[in-house]
Chains A and B, each alone.
Chain A
C-alpha cells in the first residue's frame, strides 16, 4: 500500500493521508484519481488529457513540481509514501487545484502573442528550417503551459510580479519570429524590473521542465536582445 499525504489546508495540520494500493505502471495522476473515485469525491484536482499534452495536471510531488500524468509512482515514491501539494507560486483554489490566472496574465504582459502589424504582409515569409532564428524558436516552442517552471522559480516566489520562465520563453520564441511586427513593444515589456533581467539563472525552470525545454537560455537570449536594443538606442542618441 502507498501512503499518500495530500495538502487540503494550511499549515502542518493541513494534510490528509490516504492509503492506495500499488499497481503496475501507476502514475501519480492515477493515484489521485483513485482516491477521488473510491475514497473521497470532495478531493479537487485538475487534469484533462492524461498523456502529457494539455499541461493541466501539474502538482508538487514530494516537494518538486511535476506533471503528474507522466510521473510514475515508482519513479518518485520515497519508500511507500507520496506527498502531494498544489503548485507553488499560484493561489490555491481548493486542495490540489490552483488558479492559473496570474500565470496567463503574465503571458499576455510579456507580449507572448503574435503581432501581425497594421497591414497584412504581401507574401508568405520564407523561414528556412535551419536558420538561426527558426532553431531558437524550435528550442522553445513545445511549451504546454503546465506552470511547472513557474512553480519551480525562486524569483517568482521572491517577486510575485516577475513575469516567470514560461512567459519569457514564449516572448523569446516571438522575438525570433521574423514575421512579427511588435518587437520594440515586446522588448520593452520584457525588460522591466520584473522582466528578464530579474532572472538569477538558478536554472530551476530548466531543471524541472517536463518537456525538457530550457527557459534559462530563452531568458538569456532576451537579456542579450534587450541589451542590444538599448545599445542601438544609445548610439542613435549619441
Chain B
C-alpha cells in the first residue's frame, strides 16, 4: 500500500524506475531466446519472429519500448541530481520523463516497427 507521505513525485519516479527495470529484466530472457533461435538457422528465427506479429505482442512491445525509454530518462534524472547537483522541480521533471517516454513508445507504435 502506498502511504500518504509517499504520494509525491519523487517516490512516483522511484517506483516507475524500479517497475520499468523489472519489466526490462523479465524481457531480457525472451530477447536472448529470440537471438538463440538465430543460431539454429533462419527458419527457426523466422518462425519465432512470426509470433511477434500478433497484435497483443505488438502492444507488449510498445510497453517495453516505453519502459526502456522511461528507465533511461529516470536514470538520467538521478545522475543529473547526484552528479551535477541539479536542483530540479521534481513534479515537472518527472512528468516530463513519463510524457517523453510514452511519446517515444507511441512513435515506435506508429512507425509500425
Contact = CB atoms under 8 A, between A and B. Distances in A.
A71 to B, nearest CB: 14
Interface size class of A (residues with CB under 8 A): 20 to 34
B4 A221 contact: no
Contacts of B5: 60, 63-65, 88, 152, 204, 208
Contacts of A183: none
Nearest to A201: B78
B81 A220 contact: yes
A62 B90 contact: no
Contact of B8 (A60, A62, A203, A223): A203
Contact of A201 (B8, B82, B87): B82
Contacts of A216: 10, 81
Contacts of B10: 201-204, 206-207, 216
Interface size of B as a range: 10 to 19
Contact of B85 (A200, A202, A203, A221): A221
B19 to A, nearest CB: 14
Nearest to B82: A220
A63 B78 contact: no
B4 A62 contact: yes
A154 B6 CA distance: 9
Contacts of A154: 6, 11
B82 A204 contact: no
A204 B8 contact: yes
A223 B4 contact: no
A189 B12 CA distance: 30
6 contacts: A154-B6, A204-B6, A207-B9, A216-B81, A217-B81, A220-B82
